[in-house]
Structure 1
């Protein structure tokens, strides 16, 4: 892809909370139409990085470009346009309990008045079918769904507006191995069908290899390794190998909180 403009380009990104440095000079290119997986331990900065790209957290310095346009220096109106290119599957679904499934799926489109409620109901049915759910599920409420069904509804909402970019925050958390594999398969299918660029953060190594084309590991605010997702279990990097194989002994040590 030489000469191709990265879909997402991050340079020298820094973010601290008080004295704690969470992101320490992140440099990352995610190419169009690829899926990039970021792994790392709890507190390594994965979620903060996603929230910076989404604009939910303002970094201290650096640049975040989408299609060559810097999110951090763009006007508020342009920032809204750039964020409108992004769909998000949240770790715990983040569904609205008081709304039926069909309204959850089309929430953003209804809020922006891109669909009428009648159109929204019909559109939700077709999107639910894409994630393996019967359109009749649209009339149920989130509390009436299993964990796996809630994940599917969250995925349906993420793809409802046919976004250019998809983010997945721990997509298999709380699921059994079989349902996790099902969700990963749906994610791969949806990304390919839309032609989207995807970033996923996960602790699940099987999921990372199923979803990702490329991968990186975040440790103490820095990307310490990048490579093909297929090499995660045999990276040649001592820290990555310790993490991916779940070894107690190695260069990564648990820090005690004071």
Structure 2
């Protein structure tokens, strides 16, 4: 079995009286792709933000390479989290910056390279996601939705991260462009040898980019298994969610 890259235990988070995460236990093995599924508002994004350090959990532990980033010295926690590249749901590109600066933003912000070198890196990474050098000088507003997703992916891999997060990577895309983005994601993750976590409502995408899958329901991980088994799982919650059934345990919970 592969070593565990990210180990989460007993993770809890409340917002006021609302219990979002209620004891998350999850292991993501090194070099594998984990897909987390679940209804809107069930805490998928809160889970990612907790790992990233954008949300502070109330309880629990998040270990990266065996180090609990919630208890580690801030400098060590920051160093571990800098291993993470993120593709945001809506691209989250900076409209005021040209494409190349968006792609190289992390490198420039951390003063890792000169601006000239950063532009060269951006053009190289854009090529990896199928975009030509001429795109580098454009502004995000001049790009289609599919191109913006590619630029977002290019930014996510620019620093060659060992961990990658994908937040609804196919949202807003037609099925063909969604499949294209998924192929790029798989290709980039494999080339980098990265460990990845994706959250998605798109079952076709989940099976394309995931090795394993986990169901987040009522604040906990209630099922894990191969991503290829999502549509054939006999778990009633997974079955209802993946097939979009109107009746089942999730509907019962909503009526309470």
TM-score, reference length from structure 1: 0.97
- Gap change, CA 1:206 and 1:118, over 3 Å in 2: same
Provide the C-alpha distance between the structure 2 equivalents of 1:188 and 1:15, rounded to a whole number of angstroms.
31
1:47 aligns with 2:39: no
How far is 1:189 from its partner? 0.2
Provide the C-alpha distance between the structure 1 equivalents of 2:4 and 2:61, rounded to a whole number of angstroms.
13
What is the aligned-residue RMSD (CA, Å)? 1.1
How far is 1:121 from its partner? 0.8
Kept in 2: contact 1:225–1:237 (CA 8 A): yes
- The one of 199, 202, 205 aligned to 2:200: 202
How far is 1:83 from its partner? 1.1
1:243 aligns with 2:238: no
Provide the C-alpha distance between the structure 1 equivalents of 2:249 and 2:107, rounded to a whole number of angstroms.
47
2:72 is matched with which residue?
74
1:218 is matched with which residue?
216
- The one of 99, 114, 117 aligned to 1:116: 114
- The one of 86, 90, 98 aligned to 2:88: 90
Partner deviation per Cα, 1:53-104 (whole Å, 9 max, x = no partner):
0000000010000000111011111111011100000000000000000000
Provide the C-alpha distance between the structure 2 equivalents of 1:20 and 1:192, rounded to a whole number of angstroms.
38
- Tell me the matched-pair count: 255
Kept in 2: contact 1:37–1:201 (CA 8 A): yes
Which runs of 5 or more residues in structure 2 are unaligned? none
Instruction: Describe the SS at the equivalent of 2:21.
Output: strand
Instruction: Describe the SS at the equivalent of 2:224.
Output: strand
How far is 1:207 from its partner? 0.2
Partner deviation per Cα, 1:139-194 (whole Å, 9 max, x = no partner):
00000000000000000000000001000000000000000000000000000000
After TM superposition, what 4+ stretches of structure 1 lie above 3 angstroms from structure 2? none
Provide the C-alpha distance between the structure 2 equivalents of 1:23 and 1:195, rounded to a whole number of angstroms.
29
Instruction: Describe the SS at the equivalent of 1:255.
Output: helix
Moved more, 17-26 or 152-161: 17-26
